[in-house]
C-alpha cells in the first residue's frame, strides 16, 4: 500500500522517520513529502502532491498534514483510499484562532524563529504555512462525504484538539473510527511512536 505521510507544523517530514521504517518493514511504500515551500494555500499543496504521487494511497496527516489530507480527498477522492487524522480537525479556524495565527505570522517575520519551536525550518516558510492553515476552508463536508475509512487519533493531553472535538469528527464520517492516545500531546505520533505504529498498521491491514 502507498502511504502518504503529511507532517505537522512547525516540524518537517523527518517527524515520520519511525513510521516510515515500520511501514517499509510491513511491506508498505511510504512517502513523506515536505509541505513547506508550496505557497500559501493548502488546496494548492494538494494539487501539487497529486501531481507528484502515482496512483492511489492512504493519506496520514498530523495537524497541518491532516488539513492537507482532507484537501487531497476534496480534490481527488477516487485516489484517496483512506485517511488518518492525527491531532487534526475538519473545521476552519475560528476568529480567535485566525487572530492568534496573525500574531504568530507577525512575530515570525519580525523576530525570526524562537527557540521554543524546536525546528530547523526557516521563519518565512513557517509564516507562509501559517497563512495557509489560517485560510483553509472548512472540510467538514469532506469528512461527511468521504467514502473510505477515516481514522481520527488524538492525544488526551492535546492542547489544540480536544478528545471531544476529535471524536465528533470521527462520528461525522461515513466510516469513521477513533483512537485516544493516553499521555500524548498534539504530536501524538512523536510522543507515542510505538503505539501509533501499531494503530496505523492495524488500519492499513484492511487493504491486505
For residue 175, the cross-strand partners are: none
Q: What is the pLDDT of residue 51?
A: 97
What is the rounded average pLDDT of the residues 107-130? 96
Domains in the chain (CATH in brackets) are: 2-92+138-207 (3.40.50.1820)
pTM for this model (two decimals): 0.97
Each residue of 69-112: pLDDT tens digit? 999 999 999 999 999 999 999 999 999 999 999 999 999 999 99
Which of 119, 190, 200, 130 is CA-nearest to residue 157?
Answer: 190
Helix %, strand %, coil % for the chain, to 5?
50, 15, 35
Q: What is the dihedral of CA 20, 151, 63, 93, to 10 degrees?
A: 160
**In the chain, what percentage of residues exceed pLDDT 90?**
100
In this prediction, residue 208 has a pLDDT band, given cuts at 50, 70 and 90, of confident
Amino acid at each position: 500500500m502507498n502511504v502518504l505521510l503529511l507532517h505537522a507544523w512547525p516540524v518537517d517530514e523527518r517527524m515520520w522517520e519511525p513510521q516510515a521504517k515500520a511501514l517499509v518493514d510491513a511491506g508498505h511504500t511510504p512517502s513523506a513529502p515536505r509541505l513547506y515551500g508550496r505557497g500559501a494555500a493548502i488546496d494548492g499543496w494538494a494539487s501539487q502532491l497529486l501531481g507528484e504521487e502515482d496512483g492511489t494511497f492512504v493519506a496520514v496527516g498530523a495537524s497541518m498534514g491532516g488539513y492537507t489530507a482532507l484537501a487531497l480527498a476534496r480534490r481527488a477522492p477516487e485516489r484517496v483510499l483512506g485517511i488518518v487524522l492525527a491531532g487534526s480537525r475538519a473545521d476552519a479556524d475560528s476568529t480567535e484562532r485566525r487572530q492568534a495565527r496573525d500574531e504568530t505570522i507577525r512575530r515570525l517575520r519580525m523576530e525570526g524563529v524562537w527557540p521554543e519551536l524546536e525546528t530547523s525550518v526557516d521563519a518565512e516558510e513557517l509564516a507562509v504555512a501559517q497563512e495557509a492553515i489560517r485560510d483553509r476552508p472548512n472540510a467538514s463536508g469532506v469528512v461527511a462525504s468521504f467514502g473510505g475509512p477515516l481514522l481520527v487519533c488524538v492525544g488526551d493531553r492535546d492542547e489544540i484538539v480536544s478528545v471531544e472535538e476529535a471524536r465528533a469528527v470521527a462520528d461525522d464520517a461515513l466510516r469513521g473510527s477513533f483512537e485516544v492516545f493516553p499521555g500524548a500531546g498534539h504530536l501524538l505520533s512523536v510522543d507515542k511512536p510505538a503505539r501509533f505504529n501499531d494503530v496505523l498498521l492495524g488500519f492499513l491491514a484492511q487493504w491486505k
